[in-house]
Amino acid sequence: MVETKALIKATLDAGREFFRPPGERVAGPAPLPAEGVKQPSVVVPIRSIGPSHRERITDHLLALQPQDRYLRFGYAANDEQIRRYADSLDFDRDEIFGIYNRKLELIAMAHLAFSTDPDLRSCAEFGVSVALQARGRGYGSRLFDRAVMHARNEGVDLLFIHALSENTAMIRIARNAGALVERDGSETEAYLRLPPATMDSRMSEIVEEQLAQTDYRLKVQAKQFWDFLGAVQEIRRGVRDARDKSGR
Ligand SMILES: CC(C)(COP(=O)(O)OP(=O)(O)OC[C@H]1O[C@@H](n2cnc3c(N)ncnc32)[C@H](O)[C@@H]1OP(=O)(O)O)[C@@H](O)C(=O)NCCC(=O)NCCS
C-alpha cells in the first residue's frame, strides 16, 4: 500500500505541474519493466466517482480497443453494450474509482461491485481498465490497492477477479497482491482474502480520498485557467487579424 506521506508529497508536487499547459507533456505507455525488476510504487490520486461522471465513464470505455473490451468484459462488448453497462452502474451499492489527467479525461477506472446475494454479503468483484496511452505506469495496480482498501473497510473479506488467462497484466496485479489464482482453460479466477479493517486502513482511506478530491479540484481550476487564456488569445488574434485586414 502507498504511504499517506508519499501521497501528500506527490499531490503537492503535482500542484506545481497544474499550471503548465495540458498539451506540453508527451503521453504514451511507459516501457514495461524487465522480468524480475520491481518498480517502485507509483503515487497517483485516485478518487471515488459518482453518477455525474457517467458520461466520462462511457467515453473512457468506448475508447477501449476491441481486444481490451474483450479482456475487460470477458466478451467483445459493442458500443451499445458498453453504454448499457455504464448506464446501469449503481453508485449507491458499488464503488467506482477514477484517475483523471490534467484535461480531466478519465484515463483509468475501477469498478468494485458488491455482491447482491444476501448469503455472500462479504464478497466483491474487481474490474478495471486503463486507457492505452496510460498503461504500464502502475495505475492498474494502484486502482487495485485502492479498491482493496475500500473493500476491507466495507467489511469485505473475499475479493474476486475474473480474467481471461491471456491477461498477463491483470493476473500479475492479482498475484502481486497475494491472490490465489486458478486457471481453468481460457478463463482464470483469482481470489484475494482481505484482512479486517483497522483504524489505520480507515484513516488512510479518508486521507487518500480527501487528497484525491483536492487534486481534482486543482485540475478543474487549472483547466478553467487554460481555457480562459485560450479564449483571450483567440480574441487577441481576431483583433490583430481585423487590424491587419484594415491595413492599420
Ligand atoms: C490490465 C490493465 C488494467 C493493467 O493496467 P496497467 O496500468 O497497465 O497495469 P500496471 O502498470 O499497474 O502493471 C501491472 C503489472 O502487470 C505488468 N504488465 C503490465 N502490462 C503488461 C503486459 N502487457 N504484459 C505483461 N505484463 C504487463 C506490470 O509490469 C505490472 O507488474 P509488476 O508490478 O510485477 O511489474 C490494462 O492493461 C487494461 O486496461 N487492459 C484492458 C482491460 C483489462 O484487461 N481489464 C482487466 C480485466 S477486469
Structural domain for 193, as ranges: 4-15+42-243
Listed in sequence order, the residues at least 6 apart from 190 whose beta carbon sits closer than 8 Å to its beta carbon are 160, 161, 162, 163, 171, 174, 175, 179, 180, 181, 182
- 172 occurs within a structural domain: yes
- 30 occurs within a structural domain: no
Beta bridge mates, 114: 124
123-149 exposure pattern, b = at least 16 Cβ within 10 A, e = fewer: bbbbbbbbbeebbebbbbbbbbbbbbb
Ligand 1 interacting residues, C-beta cut-off 6 A: 32-33, 39, 68, 71-72, 127-130, 135-141, 163, 167-170, 172-173, 176
pTM of the model: 0.83
Ligand 1 centroid – CA 184 distance (Å): 20
- 82 occurs within a structural domain: yes
Distance CA 181, CA 233 (A): 55
- 36 occurs within a structural domain: no
Is residue 135 a contact partner of residue 29, using CB atoms and an 8 Å limit?
Answer: yes
Mean pLDDT of 151-173: 96
Nearest Cα residue to atom 35 of ligand 1: 38
The DSSP H or E segment spanning 134 is: none
- 84 occurs within a structural domain: yes
Number of domains in the chain: 1
Greatest mean pLDDT among 38-42, 152-156, 231-235 lies in 152-156
Nearest Cα residue to atom 48 of ligand 1: 127
Which ligand 1 atom is at minimum distance from the Cα of 136?
11
Ligand 1 centroid – CA 86 distance (Å): 22
Nearest Cα residue to atom 23 of ligand 1: 169
The DSSP H or E segment spanning 243 is: helix 199-245
Nearest Cα residue to atom 12 of ligand 1: 138
Q: Ligand 1 pocket: which of 128, 162, 176, 188 to mutate (most atoms <8 Å of CB)?
A: 128
Strands (E), the chain: 47-49, 95-100, 106-114, 123-130, 158-164, 180-184, 187-193
pLDDT at 26: 46
Mean pLDDT of 14-41: 58
- 22 occurs within a structural domain: no
**CATH code at position 101:** 3.40.630.30
Mean pLDDT over each residue of the chain, to the nearest integer: 88
Q: DSSP assignment, residue 156?
A: -
Q: Ligand 1 pocket: which of 101, 130, 160, 166 to mutate (most atoms <8 Å of CB)?
A: 130
Distance CA 165, CA 183 (A): 7
- 61 occurs within a structural domain: yes
What digits encode the pLDDT tens for the residues 49-58? 999 999 999 9
* Three-class DSSP category at 187: strand
- 216 occurs within a structural domain: yes
Nearest Cα residue to atom 20 of ligand 1: 169
State the Rg of the chain over Cα: 21
What digits encode the pLDDT tens for the residues 190-244? 999 999 999 999 999 999 999 999 999 999 998 888 888 888 888 888 888 888 8
pLDDT at 233: 84
